[in-house]
C-alpha cells in the first residue's frame, strides 16, 4: 500500500532526495512542480462551488544547505482602484448625494497574486492556508459561478476595500506573519500581486522577497 503523500512539496522533496541517492556524485538537485488545484468554497450567498487555483512546489538539495522545500499558490481575485475612486469623489461627490453609504465608483481589476514560502524540510505549510490568506488580501475574492445578487455583493465589497497592488502585497505579508508565528526567521517568502488593468494598456505589479526575520524586525 502506498503511503499517503501530505502535499505536492513532499513529493518534490522525495524526488529530490531519490535523485541525490541515485547519483551519489551529485552536489545539487532541484525539482519543480506545478498543478491545478480545486477547492470547494462558499460564494457570497453561501452556495458552495468548485473553485480553481494553482499550487507550486520546489525542492532543492545542496551539500552545504541540506534539503529545503517551497510551497506556493497562485490565486485570482479582484481589486478596485483607490486612485480613480478618489478622483471621482473629488469631481462629483460634492454635487451628488449617495444614499445608504454606497461606495464611490471606481474601475475594477482582475488581480493575480502569488505567495511562495520556502521552509526547511522538517516544517510543513498547508497550501489551503496560503490560499485563504491570499484570498483575504484582495479587495474581494472572485468566483466561478455567481447569481446576480452575488455579483452585486462582490462589486460592493471590492469598492468598500479599494487596494493598489502594493496594498495586496502588504496585506499578504501581514496575514502570513500572523498565521505562522512558529516558522523560523530564516524562512524566505516571495509575494507578488499583478492587476490586469481595465483602463490602461499596461498592468500594475508589485513584489516583495524577504525572510520572516526581516519582516518581523519591521513589524
> In the prediction, which pLDDT does 135 show?
96
Domain 8-218 is of which CATH architecture? Roll (3.10)
pTM of the model: 0.87
Q: What is the DSSP string of 89-135?
A: HHHHTTT-PPSTTPPPP--EEEEEEEEEEEEETT----HHHHHHHHH
Would you write out the chain's pLDDT as a tens digit for each of its 219 residues? 345 667 889 899 989 989 988 998 888 899 999 999 999 988 888 888 899 999 999 999 888 777 889 999 999 999 999 988 888 877 776 666 555 566 788 889 999 999 999 998 888 899 999 999 999 999 999 999 988 889 999 999 999 999 999 999 999 999 999 999 999 999 999 999 999 988 889 999 999 999 999 999 976
- What pLDDT was estimated at residue 86? 83
Q: How many CB atoms lie within 10 A of CB 164?
A: 17
Evaluate whether 194 touches 204 at the Cβ level (below 8 Å): yes
Amino acid at each position: 500500500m502506498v503511503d499517503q503523500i501530505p502535499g505536492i512539496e513532499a513529493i518534490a522533496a522525495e524526488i529530490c532526495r531519490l535523485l541525490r541517492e541515485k547519483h551519489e556524485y551529485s552536489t545539487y538537485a532541484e525539482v519543480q512542480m506545478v498543478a491545478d488545484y480545486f477547492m470547494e468554497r462558499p460564494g457570497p450567498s453561501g452556495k458552495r462551488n468548485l473553485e480553481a487555483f494553482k499550487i507550486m512546489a520546489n525542492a532543492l538539495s545542496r551539500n552545504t544547505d541540506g534539503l529545503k522545500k517551497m510551497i506556493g499558490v497562485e490565486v485570482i481575485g479582484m481589486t478596485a482602484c483607490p486612485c480613480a475612486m478618489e478622483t471621482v469623489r473629488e469631481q462629483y461627490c460634492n454635487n451628488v448625494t449617495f444614499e445608504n453609504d454606497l461606495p464611490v465608483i471606481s474601475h475594477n481589476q482582475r488581480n493575480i497574486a502569488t505567495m511562495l514560502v520556502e521552509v526547511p524540510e522538517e516544517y510543513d505549510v498547508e497550501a489551503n492556508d496560503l490560499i485563504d490568506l491570499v484570498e483575504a488580501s484582495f479587495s474581494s475574492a472572485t468566483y466561478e459561478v455567481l447569481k446576480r445578487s452575488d455579483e452585486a455583493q462582490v462589486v460592493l465589497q471590492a469598492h468598500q476595500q479599494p487596494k493598489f497592488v502594493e496594498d495586496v502585497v502588504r496585506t499578504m505579508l501581514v496575514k502570513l506573519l500572523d498565521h505562522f508565528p512558529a516558522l523560523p526567521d530564516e524562512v524566505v517568502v516571495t509575494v507578488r500581486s499583478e492587476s490586469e488593468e481595465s483602463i490602461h494598456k499596461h498592468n500594475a505589479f508589485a513584489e516583495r522577497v524577504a525572510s520572516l526575520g526581516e519582516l518581523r524586525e519591521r513589524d
